Amino acid sequence: MNAAPADPPPAPVPLRSAFGWWLRLGCISFGGPAGQIALMHEELVVRRRWISERRFLHALNYCMLLPGPEAQQLATYIGWLMHRTPGALVAGTLFVLPSALLLMLLAWAYLGYGQLPAVAAALWGVKPAVTALVLAAAVRIGGRTLGHPLRWAIAAAAFVALAAFSLPFPAVVAAAALAGAIGARFVPQAFGLALHGEAPPAPHAPALIDDDTPPPAHARGGWPQLLKVTLACVALWVAALGVLVLVAGPGSTPAQMGLFFTKAALLSFGGAYAVLPYVFQAAVGHYGWLTAAQTLDGLALGETTPGPLIIVVVFVGFVGGWTQPAFGADSAAASAVLAAATAAFFTFLPSFWFILAGGPLIEATHGRPRFTAPLAGVSAAVVGVIANLALFFAWHVLWPRGWAGGPDLAALAVGVAAALALLRWRVGPVPVIAAAAAAGLVWHALR
């Protein structure tokens, strides 16, 4: 229950105190972006009153317009608003660091022990459950975004473009954004994007950053601030990539990952499920960092860790570094850690740039149709992109030996049960994955 409006505002929060809370958030932020945002709202708006409802929603609206993990960007934004650049770095880094370290450990255990009979049996059950998770994501996102026939058409076109013609993911995103921008001029009701509308003012207990709190000095910058931060981030990007080239070589796996994950981060509109098909397609088909079966296992491990789902890139990097060691055959472990850290750094660096550079310009972009309409087109295409990922996984899981070999009926049964649990009974992903792993153990014990 909210405190009475007569309560005094909370005392200023020093960065060292905020550090502990951001670390705790990074360790308990399960439930995907919706759950993570709800947790931040409960803690920061309702309980601690670090920021008011309207200021929280204003920041969320901005983060929803950006490529990348919106929950991590929201944490970065609030940390920046409270404690300048150090606060942004603390909040944004701690949001992903625990899950990145945990996923490295899980990837190491997976590569070392994944072929044991018991582990292989559990992973057999997990794979169809992950396929159901992807399908459920397409259904869930489609229910929110496909409210008009034109959006259905964009989603269908994106699915066909990827599934039938294997068109590049960046081209699909660009075409969807263009369709949204053009379509909004002729059929505005089809592309009016409603994100998280700001509620009308209501009585509330005063917050540290309240509705009428003036922006702090560091949040009043304009184009000079944008240029300054952009130059700093570009310099950091060039320096990091240069170190990888010097240490591992220009054609090495870490150097390739630095370039690739930067591009993937800038294209990740619509959440992790939208960009992961692009990541998996390139990692499996072009670079050979891992196999299609390993992408399923990595996605399952990513679903069971806190933090944003895009942290699965750490698994991709670790396996890629392990299978293609940069410093010789005896350096698999060191190369894997370097590659995983590279994947994480280049994936999340753009998110910090978006907040530190664009934060002061939020008022200039928020709520303008020319910015939201292209995103509406991309959001519709995301449904088709995710459906294509579900098809990709289903092919490898349910027909592991191709059409001639027939379907794996037991895997199909696990997948159907997982889909029903997710879509009909609203069971969370972690219990579903655990139950599927148990089903795999039981099935292989009975065979």
Q: How confident is the model over 142-188, as pLDDT tens digits? A: 887 788 899 999 999 999 998 898 888 778 888 988 998 898 888 88
How far CA 24 is from CA of 15, 20, 307, 436, in Å, comes to: 14, 6, 11, 29
Q: How far is CA 19 from CA 16, 49, 63, in A?
A: 5, 16, 22
Q: Which residues contact 7 (CB under 8 A, 6 or more apart)?
A: 205, 206
The predicted-structure confidence for 68-121, as pLDDT tens digits, reads as follows: 898 999 999 999 999 999 999 999 999 999 999 999 999 999 998 987 888 889
pLDDT level of residue 197 (50, 70, 90 thresholds): very low
Alpha carbon distance, N-terminus to C-terminus of the chain:
54
Beta-bridged to residue 209, according to DSSP, are 51
Question: Which pLDDT score, from 0 to 100, does residue 203 have?
Answer: 66
Of residues 24 and 39, more confidence is placed in 24
pLDDT digits (tens, 9 = 90+) for 303-361: 888 889 899 999 999 999 999 999 888 899 999 999 999 999 999 999 999 999 988 87
Name the amino acid, one letter, at 153. A
| Contact yes or no for 348/107 (Cβ under 8 A) | no
pLDDT attached to residue 8: 80
Where do the structural domains in the chain lie, given as residue ranges?
A: 98-205+223-446
Positive or negative, the CA dihedral 394, 397, 403, 406 is negative
18 contacts: CB under 8 Å, gap ≥ 6:
79, 82, 83, 87, 90, 91
Q: Can you give the C-alpha Rg of the chain in angstroms? A: 22
Q: How confident is the model at residue 215 (pLDDT cuts 50, 70, 90)?
A: confident
Place of tokens 């995983």: 340
Question: Angle at Cα 162 formed by Cα 175 and Cα 62, nearest 5°?
Answer: 45
Judge residue 94's burial from the number of C-beta atoms within 10 Å of its C-beta, 0-12 exposed, 13-18 middle, 19 or more buried. Answer: buried
